[in-house]
Amino acid sequence: MRRTLASSIVVLALVAGSASARPDLERAGLSAPGNVGQVTFRWLGLPLYRAALFTEEGADFTWQRPMALELAYLRNISRDNLLEATLTELERIEGRKPDHDSLLGKLRGCFRDVRKGDTFVAVARARDVLSFWLNGRKTCELRHTGVRERFLGIWLSDKSRSASLSRQLRGE
């Protein structure tokens, strides 16, 4: 009887230990999230935010897999500055496109001012849809052609501002 009870306790401990440590990402739509990579992004040497990439079960990064990009802010940044930086990076990576104004208008509804300690998460489960979460609360679901690669490419593509940080973030 004691051996059976001890075995049951060990099994329960293992099952409890295997539960996701990121229920916020599961609520956001990423099942069994596992961290693939993380980096700190800096501007003029000052840390702006820590970025972490999650995939289901920590699977290797590919654009086709569901993923979540988490940005944990180390400074206060206004929504307008976030939008301006996003447009700058989109134009740098892909040139000026006719739909940038439309995409930025949609992002305006998703973004908020961020404060030191805030966490923004973009969850991509499909090519044309991103959901945004600020401190565990959904701010929007954005639908736009190719938004997964276009928006997340700011951090994850080889054309990002720092290809070496992008590779680290992708777990390479």
* 105 domain residue, yes or no: yes
Does the pLDDT at position 15 exceed 60? no
Range of the domain at 126: 20-169
pLDDT of residue 21: 72
CATH number of the domain to which 100 belongs = 3.50.70.10
> In the predicted model, what is the mean pLDDT of the chain?
88
pLDDT for the residue 144: 97
97-100's contacts with Cβ under 8 Å and 24+ in sequence apart are: 99/144, 99/145
User: How many domains does the structure of the chain reveal?
Assistant: 1
- Answer whether residue 1 is part of any domain: no
Q: How far apart are the C-alpha atoms of 29 and 131, rounded to whole Å?
A: 9
In a domain, 151, yes or no: yes
Q: What is the pLDDT of residue 23?
A: 82
Task: Decide if 8 is inside a domain.
Answer: no
Task: Identify whether 99 is part of a domain.
Answer: yes
The CA–CA distances, whole Å, from 16 to 10, 127, 164 equal: 10, 33, 36
Is the overall model pTM greater than 0.95, yes or no? no
Is the residue at 5 inside a domain?
no
pLDDT given at position 6: 37
- Sheet strands side by side (includes 33-43): 33-43, 46-56, 67-73, 119-126, 129-134, 137-143
Give residue 69's pLDDT.
97
pLDDT at 27 (0 to 100): 82
Whether 9 is covered by a domain: the verdict is no
Residue 18: its pLDDT value, please?
A: 38
The pLDDT of residue 1 is above 80: no
142: its two tokens: 């954005």
Cα–Cα nearest to 121, from 132, 107, 129: 132
Residue 115 lies in a domain: yes
Query: What is the distance between the alpha carbons of residues 101 and 103, in angstroms, rounded to a whole number?
Result: 5
